[in-house]
Structure 1
């Protein structure tokens, strides 16, 4: 309940302060030669610039982007509002305002438009890119070597001289006559005194 009452009191105070400031800006603009709807447009313009600058400051609050421009236009709009409040407090004859004040009031629309445009179109803080885990790229060189690497070649059969084949065939026939079985590579290797690979090649040709 207390929080609700406090909020309502702040809201009422803000409405009163805004209405008084709005009225002072209108009176000053009207005294400076702006009549009719134009006098009412001045306080709207000042308040809009003040709000735009404040929102820009809140947007840049948690970033490293420069805030000097937003603070400058916030100060300009605040000075215009406070200046109107002070000027209409009896310190200025509203029936005979000085020329410099008429110039300021007349030039305010262009100044407010410039400030609003700069606040809207100034680049804001860049969004932070979420850190993504780096995906390991395949080692193309290794993959290429694996693809292009030739398969190990089978050892070639040793060349057997024809004379050795003829001699081996005689031994094979004699072995078959004596045992009734074909001669095996181990027996050929032992009888001929050749390496095992050559004995295998000879046995293949005798089969």
Structure 2
């Protein structure tokens, strides 16, 4: 907070010093151009007021998103008058012998300043569009209804609840299809199956696989169960 105050104070002091110097230069130039007395003091006031008014109106137009060509023109005119007086009184101009052209400019300045100030004052002001950061006003609390305004309880009987629907049970899974019964083998083929099974067990030490025996005998796959039944 203290740093902000010191920064603002420095800006104000700088603006006061610059304004006083510019004010003095305009007074000296007007006095040298033949505008003595109170008129010499009125010239710097007129230039500075036109400068400030044009600047403020230009900023308002820019914030509203509208063209600011007119205020910018009068701002440049007032700035040229102030800057010209500062340069003219810096020793480049003999104030005891002011040119006639400068006397004409100084004498015609009141009409120019009055015209510019009138245009700035009568320019319609444009409302500044609200920014998106503005927070909406807080909602007002809804008024509670009065007790007398509440609806009276009805004497109608309450509807009886409908019976709940019976849960839908899932359909039972289909029973597995029984496998086809084993086909009986001829006695000779049964003996051959047993002989091959004994040879396999004697050779490997493990029981024979029915599917392998069926393939070895050249029987179809449907005969595997029949072969296994005689092992």
Higher helix share: 1
TM-score range, shorter chain: 0.5 to 0.7
TM-score under structure 2 length normalisation: 0.53
TM superposition outliers: structure 1 runs of 4+ over 3 Å: none
Give the aligned partner of residue 78 of structure 1: 79
CA deviation string 1:10-57 (max 9, x = no partner): 111111000000000000000000000000000000001001101101
Question: What is the CA–CA distance in structure 1 between the aligned matches of 2:97 and 2:22, rounded to whole Å?
Answer: 21
Question: What is the CA–CA distance in structure 1 between the aligned matches of 2:13 and 2:109, rounded to whole Å?
Answer: 29
Question: What is the CA–CA distance in structure 2 between the aligned matches of 1:79 and 1:7, rounded to whole Å?
Answer: 27
Give the aligned partner of residue 25 of structure 2: 24
Give the CA deviation at 1:61.
Answer: 1.6
Say which is worse superposed, 15-24 or 51-60, in terms of deviation.
Answer: 51-60
Give the aligned partner of residue 91 of structure 1: 92
Question: What is the CA–CA distance in structure 2 between the aligned matches of 1:48 and 1:12, rounded to whole Å?
Answer: 19
Structure 2 unpaired stretches of 5+: 130-231
Give the aligned partner of residue 115 of structure 1: 116
Does the CA-based 8 Å contact 1:64-1:125 persist in structure 2?
no
Structure 1 unpaired stretches of 5+: 129-207
Structure number with greater Rg is 2
Does the CA-based 8 Å contact 1:49-1:74 persist in structure 2?
yes
TM-score under structure 1 length normalisation: 0.59
Q: Please report the RMSD computed on the Cα atoms of aligned residues, expressed in angstroms.
A: 1.7
- What is the aligned residue count? 129
